[in-house]
Chains A and B, each alone.
Chain A
Amino acid sequence: MSETTGGIDLEEDTSGVVKKFMFVNRRAPYGTIYALEALEVVLISAAFDQDVSLAFLDDGVYQLVKGQHTKGVDMKNFSPTYRALEGYDIEKLYVERESLEARGLSEDQLIVPVEVMSSEELAARMDEQDVVIGF
């Protein structure tokens, strides 16, 4: 079973079991499809009542930058969706401080309230997870 289902046993009745899921975002929005796809999966995961968190590091921090206007590139501006996550009980948004600093960004330039932490702290959060999914 784990060969095709990524370790998730679909046969067993697992209703009521809550696992810690972390979605790791490391790509800038728009240049590739990763950021948008991650957001889709995160929204789907909300339906399963799991303990979901999102980590933003490397170019992933660009996803949360305020003031995105995509009319000129004719693409969907999906940045407002991060503000809607709260409504799906997804409130654990972790942003790596080193990634922000390297890019000349600060917390007040982000579109949603997040928890900014060091890469060491973020690594510890990753270690606590049952499932980590990277984009």
Chain B
Amino acid sequence: MLHIVNKSPYEKSALASCLAHATKGSAVLLIEDGVYAVVQGGTVEAELRQAMGRLELYALSADLEARGMKDKVIDGVKLVDYGGFVDLVAAHRTNQSWL
């Protein structure tokens, strides 16, 4: 399963709910305001690091760049471009958007 989150974790509970429901080995892709979750030093970092032990974490590069956050990403989060986004969708049997 590929989970897609596009909301800021500081404004909405979408990411928290996603992480609570994503099963081991699932992939989580953060896009749009969702990318704020992977920025170093925030209060969400601990929760995210914990999730990284059992989930694959990805973030859309262009969205990080737009928000001035590209060089502040937590280690271990993989950055993808739009082509990588398509590859992730194609590689998983199902995907779920946490709007």
Contact = CB atoms under 8 A, between A and B. Distances in A.
B87 interface: no
Interface stretch (B4-12, B17-25, B51-59, B90-98): B4-12
Contacts of A59: 8, 10-11, 33, 36
Given A30-B33, A58-B11, A103-B39, A72 B68 contact: no
Given A73-B62, A103-B10, A68 B33 contact: no
B8 A104 contact: no
A83 interface: no
A72 B32 contact: no
A53 to B, nearest CB: 23
A68 B66 contact: yes
A29 to B, nearest CB: 7
B41 interface: yes
Contacts of B33: 28, 30-32, 59
A105 B41 CA distance: 7
A73 B63 contact: yes
Interface of A is mostly: loop
A66 B67 CA distance: 8
Contacts of B61: 72
Contacts of B66: 30, 68-70, 72-73, 75, 77
Interface in A36-86: 58-59, 62, 65-73, 75, 77, 79
Given A29-B67, A30-B67, A103-B42, A62 B36 contact: yes
A77 B65 CA distance: 11
Interface in B68-86: 68-72
A73 B40 CA distance: 22
Interface of A: 27-32, 58-59, 62, 65-73, 75, 77, 79, 102-105, 109
